[in-house]
Structure 1
Amino acid sequence: MTASLTPLPLQGHVLFRSSDLDEARARVAEVFCPHRLDTSGGGAFAARHHHLAGQGLSLNYIEYGARTRIMPGELGAFYLLQIPLAGGASIRNGAQGYLSTPDRAAILNPHLPTVMEWEEGTRQILVQISRAAMQAHLAAHLGGPSDRPLTFDGPLDLTAGPGAALRRLVLWLVAEADAGQSPVAAPAAGLMAGQIEKTVLSGLLDAAAHDHMAALGRRRAAPRPRHLRLAESYIEAHLDQPITLEDVAEAAGISPRGLQLAFRQHRGTTPLGFWREVRLARAHADLLTAAPGVTVTQVALRWGFTHFGRFSELYRARYGLSPRDTLRAAQGG
């Protein structure tokens, strides 16, 4: 099977090739995150990483040659879909443990610690997906942000149904890049790139098991009731003000308990959880587009966060990095 992989995927987007373990660790970390990288067994270490950046995701091809143990801890800012082309990998992501093969993709959650062991000769396509983009896409399908991070339950069956369709889509994107006409490559990609990336994210939500499946199913099956629409409108009009459950229930014309049940059923969260998550999303958007001189404190106060330590904790849990790091990146730091 390995002989058929010539030329290699994403051959026109070589990031590095190296037989030096330390160099490989550092160069891979530039795209993903700091990690520990060790080898075992008798295979020769020969690392290769090809990388094509999009807007909310990137396409990658990685091989190490030798049997390799990879310990990144929590990925933090991104989800990672790993599709083996040859070989396989032992995966532990949080409490989950399984074997990933060409028939079974791995999905790594950013908020759970990860340890992987790639077999000798393993070659993989990796789709790195921004945690913020994935959560925003989920929120769009739920009709509002969730009060907990999206958590996938791997592995993902690639042999049939939505999993096979997702694999074909990813490999088509790789093939288009190899033909010199990538539809997702940044910064030249146009409007189609965003739609294709959303299709990949939708494919992942459809194909993989995760903890928001039931909420997505309810969302597709039933329209929002009127009192839920009224409650959401009231919340969005008072994002920068302190509100109570009773305030929202009165505006929606429903009892507080009835309102809580409606949000649980249709949004997978509570009314005040929805209020907090929308405020976090607005603060995130402001930090990403902040002009020089704007501070994290100003943005937090604008959206009603007066306890700055708690704001930072909530923000990091949602977006995988601190508000200060987001602001520094947005302002070119």
Structure 2
Amino acid sequence: MFLPHRITPADTEAPLDMRLNAARLGAITAAYLTYGQTLDMRTNDLADYHFDLPVAGHSRSSFGRRSVDAETGEVVPYLPGEPASITWSTDCAQLCLMVERRPLEQRLSAMLARRVDRIGFVTAPQRGVLEILAPFLHEFEGPGLLRRHPLAASTLEQLLLDGLLLTLQHDFREEVETHHHIPPGPVRRAVEMLEERPGEPWTTTTLAAAVAVSVRALQAGFRRYAGVSPTTYLRNVRLSRVHEELTAAVPGLTVTDIAVSWGFVHLGRFAGSYRQRFGESPSETLGRNRRR
């Protein structure tokens, strides 16, 4: 699922109780992994970015002569081209995340509106990633909606990439957080794209790249000229499309089918946004259409 590595159990007489549950989403591979005993794991040179987060027990990661300890909820990044070793406690279970190098670097390049060839994540325990992964893990434990709806899957994949870049410490973090001012032209072009092609897997990053500005500049421009963020604007456009389809839905279509086809992964949150915008629940709109 990930890469070649060697494990050395601390007690060769104890049973190895390895458990692995993994899922892939585009450029991202995530897994729950436990070995059931204390052991050392050593990797060769990594080709992609890896992020390991204990959800039980603790781990110690070593980078050359430097070691860092990670407790439950703390993620440690591992960088391409750099070998590392990890010591797992007996009760350690981890969420292991592998992100393909090129897509992640392309996402950051789009955020900064310039090319980035390598991201120097700080190889120290950090928090906040579990919250980013929660929607991904929830969907793959559910009825498999993402596998049936490519737009929702692609949107979630890009949100995860953006979440890592905006949450973890790296050598471009300060630049990412810098706000820039732009004229109304790029915002106007971005609005036209969202209105004309709302079915594309837009994120703020891809939209900023399409109009040749940085992510922070586009966000500031939307707040100034449109009064909302790019994400909120796109959500409102898609809510309108859902409303149109519910109003004219053919027999057999459900609220879930229509919502997920428009990229709404969190159905509870979708229902709340829909009610706030249209003054009724999605099922009420659909029911009124069927009664007619």
Could you tell me which residue of structure 2 aligns to residue 75 of structure 1? 46
SS at match of 2:80: coil
Structure 1 distance, partners of 2:131, 2:87, is 25
Task: Give the alignment partner of residue 71 of structure 2, picking from 101, 104, 125.
Answer: 101
Is 1:176 aligned to residue 139 of structure 2?
yes
Report 1:238-317 matches (<5 A): none
- Amino acid across the alignment from 2:123: G
Could you tell me which residue of structure 1 aligns to residue 32 of structure 2? 61
Structure 1 distance, partners of 2:114, 2:64, is 27
Give percent identity, aligned residues only. 19
Change (3 A) 1:221 1:150: same
The question of whether the paired residues in 1 share the 8 Å contact of 2:166 and 2:176 is answered with no
Change (3 A) 1:114 1:95: same
Task: Give the alignment partner of residue 16 of structure 2, picking from 20, 32, 45.
Answer: 45
1:92 Cα deviation after fit: 2.1
Could you tell me which residue of structure 1 aligns to residue 54 of structure 2? 84
Report 1:113-128 matches (<5 A): 113-128=83-98
Structure 2 distance, partners of 1:189, 1:94, is 44
Is 1:207 aligned to residue 167 of structure 2?
yes
SS at match of 1:69: strand
Is 1:194 aligned to residue 154 of structure 2?
yes
- Amino acid across the alignment from 1:124: Q
Structure 2 distance, partners of 1:90, 1:223, is 45
What runs of 5+ residues in structure 2 fail to find an aligned partner?
184-216, 218-292
CA RMSD of aligned residues (A): 2.3
- Amino acid across the alignment from 1:107: P
Could you tell me which residue of structure 1 aligns to residue 121 of structure 2? 152
SS at match of 2:43: strand
Structure 1 distance, partners of 2:64, 2:119, is 14
Deviant stretches of 4+, over 4 Å: none
Structure 2 distance, partners of 1:189, 1:97, is 42
Question: Between Structure 1 and Structure 2, how many residues are aligned?
Answer: 183
What runs of 5+ residues in structure 1 fail to find an aligned partner?
1-30, 225-265, 267-333
Structure 2 distance, partners of 1:43, 1:222, is 61
Structure 1 distance, partners of 2:175, 2:68, is 26
- Amino acid across the alignment from 1:171: A
1:136 Cα deviation after fit: 0.8
SS at match of 2:114: coil
Structure 1 distance, partners of 2:143, 2:78, is 29
1:171 Cα deviation after fit: 2.6
Change (3 A) 1:53 1:103: closer
Structure 2 distance, partners of 1:139, 1:214, is 14
Structure 2 distance, partners of 1:66, 1:114, is 20
The question of whether the paired residues in 2 share the 8 Å contact of 1:61 and 1:126 is answered with yes
SS at match of 1:52: strand
Structure 2 distance, partners of 1:152, 1:182, is 32
The question of whether the paired residues in 2 share the 8 Å contact of 1:43 and 1:120 is answered with no
- Amino acid across the alignment from 1:143: A
What is the TM-score when the length of structure 1 is the normalising length?
Answer: 0.50
Structure 2 distance, partners of 1:182, 1:62, is 24
The question of whether the paired residues in 1 share the 8 Å contact of 2:56 and 2:91 is answered with yes
The question of whether the paired residues in 2 share the 8 Å contact of 1:93 and 1:109 is answered with no
